[in-house]
Structure 1
Amino acid sequence: MLSRIIYCTAVLLATIAVILLALFSPQPYRKNLTPFVALSFYIRQPQVTGPEARPVEPPPPAGAMIFHHTLTEGPENTSRVVGKAQGFIIPVESFAHSAFNIIYLTIHTNEYSGSISIQAKSLTYKEREVLSIVGGTGSFAFVRGLAVFAQTDEAIYHIKLHLKFSNGS
């Protein structure tokens, strides 16, 4: 009889401990508490100076466009550099909807550090493009959303990122 009382007491105490832990345990650490974030940057073409300086020409219609540009906070030459924009786009009709057409943004600010992958297979080469964000790394792990590119100048693009973080970030 005594062993039965000890067993019931142990089960009761274990049940109470599980309930109390479930009610009063600390929440897991989450670096980003907001599921939606809007960011705004500018993509600048590299400025070449000196005797070899020449205007940047658009790629030929049958060639690949590979680029490596600077990502800044503002459109001015003196704006702080916060990362880079890189990409590989094949504008040829047979590859126009290829999964290889991707733009990578690498961002390093006080608040965020990581990269964002933007799918560029639906480019229409207009002054304003709305493209899909298909993932990221670092602070942007598993992010989804939209990237709106608007050409403000011949050498400057304004990019607005509308990011949606997954529940696990």
Structure 2
Amino acid sequence: MLPRVIFCIAVSLAVIAVALLALFSPLPHTKPAKDSRPRLALSLYIQQPKIGGSNLHSVAPSDAGALVFHRTLTEGPENTSRVVGKAQGFIIPIEHFAHSAFNIIYLTFNSHKHSGSLSIQAKELANKEKKELMVVGGTGSFAFARGLAVFAQTDMQGSSHSDATYHVKLHLKFPNRSQTIPG
């Protein structure tokens, strides 16, 4: 009988100890969960290719037509900067096509750091100093990218709108994945 009483007391003390530890133990030090998706920021320039002739084509008069373009993508603002890819697009600026799914700018990269492309939705193209457009997808190094593309015309003296160089800042997010995004 005495061993049974000692066993019951020991079990009761163990249960009380576990309950007290659960009630008074410190909480783990955790930080609030942040957006843990990999991010990448790039700063590039879109400008006329080094070859002669204009690669900016208006299919119809500028107030009613489509804008089709093919430009080079460089690391720096000078037209002699290292070419890292190309920028191509087809934009219909007519009011009832302004929000069309066809208005896309494609940035294609072919460099030692990045290989692939980004699709940028060109819906809001009002004549502003800066244009903030949405990145809606990508391939290769930019697979499933989402984010923001900020376009700003550089201050080039004497250049027309069609010959302008544009500074592009890309702020990209990627879905959670095990590999690290370079950048």
Q: TM-score range, shorter-chain basis?
A: 0.7 to 0.9
Is 1:45 matched up with 2:54?
Answer: no
Alignment equivalent of 1:36, drawn from 33, 36, 39: 39
2:51 and 2:112 map into 1 onto residues whose CA distance is 29
Q: Which one-letter code corresponds to 1:69 in the other structure?
A: R
Is 1:78 matched up with 2:80?
Answer: yes
Name the residue aligned to 2:176: 167
1:148 and 1:91 map into 2 onto residues whose CA distance is 19
Q: Larger C-alpha radius of gyration, 1 or 2?
A: 2
2:49 and 2:108 map into 1 onto residues whose CA distance is 16
Alignment of 1:13-32 (within 5 A): none
Name the residue aligned to 2:166: 157
> In percent, how many aligned pairs have the same letter?
67
1:104 and 1:147 map into 2 onto residues whose CA distance is 12
Is 1:101 matched up with 2:103?
Answer: yes
Q: CA deviation at 1:46?
A: 3.2
CA RMSD of aligned residues (A): 2.3
Tell me the alpha carbon deviations over residues 54-113 of structure 1, each in whole angstroms, 9 at most, x when there is no partner. Answer: 8x7976110000000000000112100000000000000110111110000001221211
Name the residue aligned to 1:22: none
1:122 and 1:135 map into 2 onto residues whose CA distance is 18
Assess if the C-alpha contact under 8 Å between 2:57 and 2:69 holds in 1. no
TM-score computed with the length of structure 2 as normaliser: 0.67
Q: Which one-letter code corresponds to 1:125 in the other structure?
A: N
TM-score computed with the length of structure 1 as normaliser: 0.72
1:48 and 1:136 map into 2 onto residues whose CA distance is 28
For structure 2, which runs of at least 5 residues remain unmatched after alignment? 1-35
How many residue pairs match? The answer is: 134
1:130 and 1:40 map into 2 onto residues whose CA distance is 14
